[in-house]
Structure 1
């Protein structure tokens, strides 16, 4: 049981039923095998297999079966009527009947060991390589947090069809994987799932034995929404949509090579980002990475990519530290399709100085976040250069009520919010916006462009909020992209999706320039000052340090505000009908 779940059996006993509740912790076990294991550990001898011959026969039947992997019946219901129910297993067993535990461990355990001893070879064939670890090597093993289609990485995206498709992919049955993933993609739940679309395109490549170029996308996916050290998976899914859309469009061409995408989950954790980067650079066929999501994760992984000469194009990391990183490495393997914090800071400072006519600001930021610290620094210098004054920069270190009292004492006229999306910081930001309740004008950076703002912030509080973002669908330089995106995903998409689409388009364009490409030659193509690609945000070119060339492509920063639509819901709209023109920062 420990081999299958990584948990001691004592942690799996349900105190009410006295049964082991374990199946949801081993989702890659077929129902047939799970039932056999339960029968082997049954407390009553009458419920166990009669002899070793019956055990062998049942294992052989499972080995010969095409039964897809499914989660067993005792999986907790994670979604029910659009609400979440979190189920935890008991960890304190001090009050459980000692006799029951002994019965399960000694009687059922002895029977299980006997069965495994008699049929070990067959179990070796059945149990997935991920479970057997060092005892059984996986073909093209790529790590726990990486997948071409072998495992589901996005939480709460499982459907029966998707699970069957992933199981077929993992088994090398790519035609079956295509069939099941097509069904998953066309299902009601699967229509907005970018992971399913990426896996479907990857499965088609394998089934057709088509020539392909391999890229990866590294984003936070399987994260605990209650974990203060991590972000939720929603921004990661927004990035995946952009990559999936670009891949799907390109792979529909009748001839030529295809794009295969390896998905990597870095959990927006710096240490995991390093581990993911180490795993990615070892993939011999991998030519480039779209990612990471945040500046902190990108900076954590940057040295690893640079050392191993693997191109990485970030669609969302804006820290000025990355500009310096690119300058200090030649040849430089870092690029980004998003403008740096200088542009967001310039847009917000110019708005306060010229349009809102507000000269005193109190600032909320997280000094432990590279992104938050970067944009605060850039805003401060530009706001002060235009005559503004920051009267308080400590709002992030006190409660929302104290923050507003401090702002009032120091006669602030506007609240400036630069949070990163670390859960604890983000929750504090939401509370501050609601507590403010439109007493002050609130402005902020692109992290505030988030679906939680629409769901959690009150309508009154939200209407005093102005946000700077790199792109908005209503002001897109390329109007074909938002229309295609809405058709594909069933709704409008965020700036993260647009910039991820552009990062993928940049790689696709570069990969088409030569028949034989290596990691080094791909870098050379992107670094060429004459290189350009077209995307959702217009024409994309790069400076030598990997920053986007704003002089040539003229990307603009958009200021958006929240309004109540006809249905009574909040939505982001551009502050003006035309793009807000920002003077290029020095």
Structure 2
């Protein structure tokens, strides 16, 4: 890859148009070409990209500290030593800020003129309701980056630089972000996007440009079909695809309900894929799927009371809730409302989109009767995950970097995605600087049936053809009382009868 160089790009027409159309949103940012030879020239302005893609000169998350803002300003001026020190100061005040960790690591690479590989991660950083999810993903990426860059050997002597891209969980923004990333001659691969909908909107851009897109959270089986139709598919994932998770989910549900109705978002690729698999796999477990007149969680006029009345008339024993990942305003809200209105009468099972702090907050003032007959599928949980051989190192690292091992599944699967890219990067030839060839070689390494690496959740390998995770982690969790938790509630693996039994310290 080319050594770091800073090029002034005149984008006057674009800037004026963007300022008019976007009210200043499309502010342009500095960015840096790959320093593969360790030679930095900081005397000239740098190439600019839209502000929602940054490696340190723009703060994406709101409520940034003064030190963090000053660090970004220093980074923008190519004063990387100052930026490194200021990001470090920001981390002293907020040590579990993954955005600051990534920017600090990037500034350190540039200040020390270390050679590096570059990847990007796409998250919905601007959406307030999604910022915790975005931070969870970034923690997984940052944790791997930190370990690599602090090691002596690094990746064949090269560090890891990470761009953060914000698609705002918007289909149009996701595609725009993808178009910018693939045009960059530094970035080798992308981790993202968060939802199946945004991933689907952007995937064709990555495919056309043969850039690996490795998702830690997109589960729709649309991508399985997509990969089977592409001779050189660039999509991979470290989370279970819906068919695998629904099969696991159905086995757990059938123990409590043999007649169930599924509620999902009609406008969601993720929800539709889950529903289609459930319609097929649940009957194979001996269950019956009961059709009701209202099953669209994304509909504004959804009525929980009418739904429950009809469910009782039809002899329904279980409710399956599959809200989308935040691409519609009403979906999660309606799922929670139905859970509350049920008052513990029917068994309720939810997809991983309900493994959400908003659910705990909504149920905080309710009695145990409301949430006792409620179980949620999740890819990973720290209680059991940290006790596995593969999870022990991950959780020890998390404790060191974030001050806690109680990270969520998004951190674990994003860690696995970054570990997979790290393992693949180690196999790239050092003497090839052709970005097109390097991207293709990276894809071929991941697709090789002999490829595997150790992640937080186990061994990461990919199925031939579909590029699905071969043996993904799967877990069912329940809500238990935990007074010391923010909402007074916590998700714990189903086998535990209390949060304390699961190892949580719940005393106030």
Contact 1:239 1:500 in 2 (8 A): yes
1:421 lines up with 2:330 in the alignment: no
Q: 1:138 Cα shift?
A: 6.3
508, 516, 528: which one pairs with 2:422? 508
Q: Comparing both chains, which one has the higher relative contact order based on Cα–Cα distances under 8 Å and sequence gaps of 6 or more? A: 2
How big is the alpha-carbon RMSD for the aligned residues of Structure 1 and Structure 2? 2.6
Residues 326 and 459 (structure 1 numbering): CA distance in 2 closer, same or farther, change over 3 Å? farther
1:360 lines up with 2:259 in the alignment: yes
Residues 207 and 366 (structure 1 numbering): CA distance in 2 closer, same or farther, change over 3 Å? same
Segments of structure 2 that go 5 or more residues without pairing to the other structure are 1-14, 31-43, 433-437, 497-508
Cα deviation 1:282-315 (Å, max 9, x = unaligned): 1101100001111111111111001001011000
1:381 lines up with 2:280 in the alignment: yes
* Match of residue 49 from structure 2: 142
Q: Which has the larger displacement, 300-309 or 487-496?
A: 487-496
Q: Distance in 1 between matches of 2:355 and 2:392?
A: 20
Cα deviation 1:355-386 (Å, max 9, x = unaligned): 22x11112210111000000011112111122
Q: Which has the larger displacement, 504-513 or 250-259?
A: 250-259
* Match of residue 305 from structure 2: 401
* Match of residue 151 from structure 1: 58
Contact 1:459 1:570 in 2 (8 A): no
Contact 2:261 2:319 in 1 (8 A): yes
* Match of residue 475 from structure 2: 558
* Match of residue 185 from structure 2: 284
SS at match of 1:155: coil
Cα deviation 1:198-250 (Å, max 9, x = unaligned): 0000000110110000000011110254xxxxxx2221111111111111111
167, 174, 180: which one pairs with 2:86? 180
Q: 1:414 Cα shift?
A: 0.9
Q: Distance in 2 between matches of 1:164 and 1:430?
A: 41
Contact 1:339 1:547 in 2 (8 A): no
Q: Distance in 1 between matches of 2:359 and 2:407?
A: 15
Q: Distance in 2 between matches of 1:541 and 1:26?
A: 43
1:537 lines up with 2:457 in the alignment: yes
- Runs of at least 4 residues off by over 3 Å: 5-8, 128-131
* Match of residue 351 from structure 1: 252
- Whichever structure has more helix as a proportion of its residues is 1
Q: Distance in 1 between matches of 2:346 and 2:19?
A: 51
Segments of structure 1 that go 5 or more residues without pairing to the other structure are 9-24, 28-127, 132-136, 226-231, 578-586
Question: What's the TM-score, normalizing by structure 2?
Answer: 0.82
Structure possessing the higher radius of gyration over alpha carbons? 1
* Match of residue 381 from structure 2: 472
155, 161, 171: which one pairs with 1:270? 171
Residues 459 and 286 (structure 1 numbering): CA distance in 2 closer, same or farther, change over 3 Å? farther
* Match of residue 440 from structure 1: 346
Residues 144 and 566 (structure 1 numbering): CA distance in 2 closer, same or farther, change over 3 Å? closer
Q: 1:567 Cα shift?
A: 3.6
Question: What's the TM-score, normalizing by structure 1?
Answer: 0.72
Contact 1:362 1:390 in 2 (8 A): yes
Q: Distance in 1 between matches of 2:97 and 2:493?
A: 27
110, 117, 135: which one pairs with 1:237? 135
Q: 1:130 Cα shift?
A: 5.9
* Match of residue 449 from structure 1: 355
292, 298, 301: which one pairs with 2:202? 301
